[in-house]
Amino acid sequence: MVLGAYVDAQKRYRILNELGAGGFARVLLCRDRISREFRAVKVANRMGDESLLREARGLRYLSHPGIVRVHEVGEDPSGRLYLVMDYLEGPTLSDLLEHFRRLPAWVAVSLGMEIARALEAIHAEGFVHRDLNPNNVIIERRSRRPIVCDFGIARDLGLSTQTGSGAGTLAYMPPEQLRGRATPQTDVFALAVVLYEMLTGQVPWGEARTAIMAYRILRLHRRNLVRRMSAAPEPLRPVLLRAMARNPRERYVSIGAFRRALADTPVRKRGRSLEQLLDAYYNIHRVCATCGTDLITYMRYCPECADKNPLRWSDGHSSRCPKCHWGRHPSWRHCPWCGASVSRVSRARPPASARGRCPSCRGAVPFYARFCPHCRERLSWDLEFKIPCPGCGWGIAARWRGCPWCGRKLRRERTRRSSP
């Protein structure tokens, strides 16, 4: 479906790109024509689907720095509801875990406590999230704070507490949620599973089919959990065991009690900090000598200076493309920047900096590639930055003054400060 068919009849929001899609809705990156700010617009896939209305009702009274902020709710010409939210720039917790597999214990506990504070604000308004998982937590790039989002199946405890659908992500659902019941202890269980995954790199039930995973959760036994927790730090094991108890009454009475238990648990500060992990995720190796801005490897221009002075890298590839002089690896058949073919190809081992695979040949490609260096398939621009440059179409960030790939100066928008 054409993206231009979405969003309101007044054409207030200009669609720039699609951020993601799911079974209930898709999220579009848009620019507000009035305020000139970037927004994430969530559009329902079907007419008459009121899940977005429930999400808006759950978020309209919430004002917390760890919860995504909703600006308005509307209906497009075809009758689909849409929800306008803040655009959060940064990876999801799932992206970080996919890249690093596991996080240092003190970073994982710190993130868990921040998420718990956001859930406390949700529970204080009488709601339960019911779908807390790493895909619904975004690590905001500038504040380095986890932001909880996706309240599509959040439940109002004042309206229903006993029965309902078992919607949610299976690997993070407690036994009572599989039976259709939601309580504040439901989010305690889900947060404990997320914390366990941050510490060990996997969920306690392992990778299994749906029926097998549901059986393991329903037949959850303390002894089995103790056996699987050998990879988690020893001081945290009793805290996680209590939070993941099969009986909700045996868990912490509230998410605040779980957060206080995490705060009282001694964890040594070993390994990289969250700031260093984000820099490694974005492949930031140095700063600009002129303005001190973080520079991602393979940037050709400083995005803050925007003065058309090409950057010089001493740790680039050994050879260069004969057409655009972009750094290339000897094993590549084509330049990843301009797609030019290379006559001599070495059998050298491919570089380890690849962040994805070509959809055509499944070859490993670097995250900055515009063409597959193996089969010359045209690839989409950088997945981390969703705003396209008007000059070259490459992904850029809202905070940059210039495009780091083509050097074009950008019109920097003034963004409003969000209220705490």
Model pLDDT, residue 257: 95
Model pLDDT, residue 396: 86
Model pLDDT, residue 147: 95
CA distance 167 to 24: 12
Model pLDDT, residue 189: 95
Predicted confidence band at 417 (pLDDT cuts at 50, 70, 90)?
very low
C-alpha torsion sign, points 233, 235, 238, 242: negative
Report CA-CA distances (Å) from 132 to 41, 124, 312, 328, 393: 20, 17, 43, 41, 34
Overall average pLDDT of the 2-7 stretch:
50
Predicted confidence band at 1 (pLDDT cuts at 50, 70, 90)?
very low
CA distance 249 to 244: 11
Overall average pLDDT of the 16-39 stretch:
84
- Domains contained in the chain, CATH given: 3-86 (3.30.200.20), 93-274 (1.10.510.10)
Model pLDDT, residue 381: 54
Overall average pLDDT of the 130-147 stretch:
91
More confident call, 63 vs 350: 63
**Which sequence positions are flagged as catalytic?**
131
CA distance 106 to 271: 9
Predicted confidence band at 353 (pLDDT cuts at 50, 70, 90)?
low
Q: Residue 331 pLDDT more than 70?
A: yes
Beta-ladder partners of 319: 328
Strands 13-21 and 25-32: antiparallel
Label residues 161-187 b or e (16+ Cβ within 10 Å = b): eeebeebbbbbbbbbbbeeebbbbbbb
Predicted confidence band at 197 (pLDDT cuts at 50, 70, 90)?
very high
Overall average pLDDT of the 372-389 stretch:
76
Model pLDDT, residue 418: 40
Beta-ladder partners of 43: 26, 82
Please report how many Cα atoms fall inside a 13 Å half-sphere around the Cα of residue 9, on the Cβ side.
6
- 3-state class (DSSP) for residue 96: helix
Residues 385-390: contacts with CB within 8 Å, 24+ apart?
385/89, 386/16, 386/17, 386/19, 386/29, 387/16, 387/17, 387/29, 387/38, 388/16, 388/17
DSSP assignment string, 246-276: SSGGGS-SSHHHHHHHHHHS-----S--HHH
Which residue is it, tokens 């859930």?
A: 119
86 phi, psi to nearest 5 deg: -65, 145
Single-letter code of the amino acid located at 83: L
CA distance 256 to 238: 17
Q: What is the mean pLDDT of the chain?
A: 80
